[in-house]
Amino acid sequence: METQFLFATGIENSNPTIQNGKLRVDEMEKCGHYKYWKKDFDLVEELGIRFLRYGPPIHTTWLGVGKYDWSFADETFRDLLRRNIMPIVDLCHFGVPDWLGNFQNLDFAPLFADYAKAFAQRFPWVQLYTPVNEMYICAEFSGLFGWWNEQLSSDLAFVTALKNVVKANVLAMQAILEVRPDALFIQSESSEYFHAENPAAIKPAELMNAKRFLSLDLNYGRRVDSEMYEYLMDNGMTRDEYHFFLGNSLKHQCIMGNDYYYTNEHRVRADGSTQASGEVFGYHVITTQYHDRYRLPVMHTETNRWQGPNGDEAVLWLWKEWANVLRVRNDGVPIVGFTWYSLTDQVDWDSALRENNGNLNPLGLYDLDRNIRPVGTAYKQLIEDWRQVLPAQSMCLQIPLVLPSEANQPWAKQQQVNAKRIRRNPSTATVNSTPPELH
């Protein structure tokens, strides 16, 4: 039974399409993971990390309705099992297979649930999932900004993508629970804030600060405010679709994942346009806002920073983010983990993957030659220093984590039986939320 704080990293597996669907941006390919995956897992162990945000490439694994090529996943997940590394399985990271088209496809959600269930059946020892990564960002970049996949720029396209990706996430959770009743779901979502630049910008900033919660409101079955309800209804969501989300909350088996980068805060002008503001409030303030809204255990699921010309900017950012995590925890928010994303440097995120330039982004714990960066050394030391100080994860999760090596233990099997019994009788379900003494 795992009770340690979840120190994690991730293998970047973004794979949206650009150029009107003609080109797929496969970060696993660009970062060399297909070639060096064994070495990458060696590096995870070298850092002392036991939790890894990771998933199979959806576009080469999911070949059609009920058709899958598990060859790469079989190799990699077998090796994770052997190493006793606990994956947080990222099933959809900004892209879908070519045959599905894009996030405007209304068939995406139920078909994705089938894919998620097939994965869970093939790898029943997996307990932690992020079915759809950064649902809000996925819908925004694809349907509102016109950058990826469908490359549309309208509120109608955004709401269509949003309802499809959130419904896909909800149906995938239900499907996985049919196979693994004690599964836990970590909603890795970008935590944003919009600052009004002047009094005339207050109204557009307020609207953006309301919209930032839409994906998690729908996912957790929380009623949106009247202005957001009108926005959803005016842009293609039906009352039945809205009530689907209200009636299908699985909040009791969820952890709220908050991603925070230097670019997550924005200045809003009077005309509604925005620009990056840099860090103003920081992770502590913004995460507290999200926790006050949803009352769930929290995990810091993504952050990074460029190494910089002096080689110390990423190290300083790591220290600052960790200080924020401790501040959140000391204020009574049940925070269960922290993630530097990703394990290695990335490619072309300087253009938000909109351009295929091959630009190296020095954001990783290791470079693409698999040499450790200063932030990798600093993170390894941070984990070593704090690992035994923060064994608090089990205090705020009703369902204990089961390491891969423990999946066949009698107590782990009994936990699944108990979880299935609770699901069949929802009136007895214990909400996986903030302990009463922390309210």
- What confidence score (pLDDT) does residue 427 get? 55
Residues 273-296: b if buried by 16+ CB within 10 A, e if exposed: ebeebebebbbbebbbebbeebbb
- What confidence score (pLDDT) does residue 425 get? 72
Angle between helices 155-179 and 226-234 (to 10 degrees): 100
Which helix (H) or strand (E) segment is 231 a member of?
helix 226-234
Q: Which two tokens stand for residue 64?
A: 């059609």
Provide the 3-class DSSP secondary structure of residue 21: coil
In one-letter notation, the amino acid at residue 94 is F
Please answer whether residues 13 and 57 qualify as being in contact, where contact means their C-beta atoms are separated by less than 8 angstroms. Answer: yes
* C-alpha span between 364 and 379 (Å, rounded): 11
How many CB atoms sit inside 10 A of residue 234's CB? 11
pLDDT per residue, tens digit, the chain (439 aa), is 666 799 999 999 999 999 999 999 999 999 999 999 999 999 999 999 999 999 999 999 999 999 999 999 999 999 999 999 999 999 999 999 999 999 999 999 999 999 999 999 999 999 999 999 999 999 999 999 999 999 999 999 999 999 999 999 999 999 999 999 999 999 999 999 999 999 999 999 999 999 999 999 999 999 999 999 999 999 999 999 999 999 998 998 999 999 999 999 999 999 999 999 999 999 999 999 999 999 999 999 999 999 989 889 999 999 999 999 999 999 999 999 999 999 999 999 999 999 999 999 999 999 999 999 999 999 999 999 998 777 544 455 678 899 999 999 999 999 999 988 887 775 544 444 444 333 3
Q: Give the chain's domains with CATH numbers.
A: 6-432 (3.20.20.80)
In one-letter notation, the amino acid at residue 70 is W
- What confidence score (pLDDT) does residue 422 get? 82
Please answer whether residues 367 and 376 qualify as being in contact, where contact means their C-beta atoms are separated by less than 8 angstroms. Answer: no
* C-alpha span between 183 and 203 (Å, rounded): 41
Q: Which residue has the tokens 């351009």?
A: 355
Residues 235-255: b if buried by 16+ CB within 10 A, e if exposed: bbbeeebbebbeeebbbbbbb
Please answer whether residues 341 and 130 qualify as being in contact, where contact means their C-beta atoms are separated by less than 8 angstroms. Answer: no
Q: CA torsion sign, 248 to 250 to 252 to 255?
A: negative
Q: Which whole-number Å values give the CA distances from 234 to 101, 156, 160, 280, in the listed order?
A: 25, 8, 11, 33
